[in-house]
Structure 1
Amino acid sequence: MKSLLALALSFMFAACSTPQSEPAPTGNSWIALFNGHNLDGWTPKFAGYELGHNLNNTFRVEDSLLRVSYEGYDTFSNEFGHLFYESPFSHYVLRLEYRFEGKQAPGGASWAYKNSGAMLHSQPPATMGLEQAFPVSLEAQLLGGDEAGSRPTANLCTPGTHVYLADTLTTAHCINAEGPTFRGEEWVTIDLVVLGDSIIHHVVGNDTVLTYTRPHIGGDFIPDGYAVKEGSPLSEGYICLQAESHPLSFRRVELLPLKAD
């Protein structure tokens, strides 16, 4: 695979972003957001529970993996969870290595089978309502397939947000990527190239499977009383990992910071 730094740079200078906002590397140093030992720097938020409560020890570290586990559940009752990293980011490359494992928790919705995600430009975790199921964010959807049928990974879902595709406003809640379907429990690598509120690329292996621009607040999933005005551009935010009822593990969660001039 070509250097992710080179890939990010080629995206930056070829993208339809504003000319005055051309990011550059900040020293070509990756940051390990997950240290392989514990959840230091991460905070969970589950629908129906206060910030910081790790329901049933769903998010855990085992065998140097960050696991989303449902071993402690008798049944899943829409306790959607998100694990937030402590710092917001604006311009960066996020690399994830993940795999789905085992069986979905009893009670999980059919759409949540082998379904998780990484939320980009998320609202701060402390601003989520007690019962709020999903943060306002851009979800890079992680999907696995069954024995047959197409179910591409690296789609986009947009809770409380809208984006543009090829300069056209797109209000669909989920947008399919032109990506592969992974059917087993193999490790999958996804790179997310995020350039503030200009352009975002989803990359699987060597292929850019989805590109969108001008992310902003909008749509039917904005919480009541949300403090940010509809139409406001999303130039930065938090990163969080989802728990939607199917077990999965991450063995790499790392970030290459970029900076805008």
Structure 2
Amino acid sequence: MFPGTKVVYEGKVDERHCIDSKSKTYDGDQWVKAEIIVLGDSLITHIIDGETVLQYSKPQIGGGVVNRFDPAIKKDGKLLKNGFIALQSEGQPVDFRNIEIKDLSQKRN
């Protein structure tokens, strides 16, 4: 999770910076399909090559490792309904391609 963010994982608030997934490790040069489904402030699901590897809910403001924050904005426990999308690697080289964002809140005809 990002600094200053908590989620509910396995039924309780989890403040860890990184939560281990059930994903296998991919060695060598290969493309891996990753999908993240975010249902507002309720449920987030990570799917790697068609397999659900991590699921948590209720992303919220809270936790430490936050510097120079505005107390009027950082209200611990407030559910996050919007924000930024960030892609990163935790210490390993990574390339991204074919990134698509689909807004699931839009009604279909």
TM-score class, shorter-chain normalisation, is 0.7 to 0.9
Partner in structure 2 of residue 232 of structure 1:
78
Aligned to 2:97, the other structure's residue is in SS state: strand
Amino acid at match of 1:215: P
SS at match of 2:87: strand
Letter in 1 for 2:44: I
How many matched pairs? 105
Rounded to whole Å, the distance in 2 between the matches of 1:243 and 1:207 is 20
Greater fraction helix:
1
Question: Is 1:185 matched up with 2:29?
Answer: yes
In the alignment, structure 1 residue 163 sits paired with structure 2 residue 7 = yes
Residues 1:215 and 2:43 are matched in the alignment: no
Identify which of structures 1 and 2 has the higher relative contact order when contacts are C-alpha pairs closer than 8 Å and 6+ apart.
1
| Greater Cα radius of gyration, structure 1 or 2 | 1
After TM superposition, the score normalised by the length of structure 2 is 0.83
Give me the CA root mean square deviation.
2.1
Q: In the TM superposition, what are the counterparts of 1:43-192 in structure 2 within 5 Å?
A: 157-192=1-36
| Residues 211-252 of structure 1, C-alpha deviations (whole Å, 9 max, x = no match) | 101110111122332333122111111113337775432221
Residues 158 and 243 of structure 1: CA distance in aligned 2, closer, same or farther (over 3 Å): closer
Structure 1 gaps, min length 5: 1-156
SS in 2 for 1:234: coil
Unaligned runs of 5+ in 2: none
C-alpha spacing 1:207/1:242, structure 2 compared with 1 (3 Å): closer
Residue aligning to 1:252? 98
Any idea what SS the aligned residue of 1:240 has? coil
Q: TM-score, normalised by structure 1?
A: 0.37
Q: Which amino acid aligns with 2:63?
A: G
The one-letter code sitting in structure 1 at the alignment partner of 2:86 is C
For residues 43 and 89 of structure 2, the distance between their equivalents in structure 1, rounded to whole angstroms, comes to 26
Structure 1 or 2: more strand by fraction? 1
Name the residue aligned to 1:109.
none
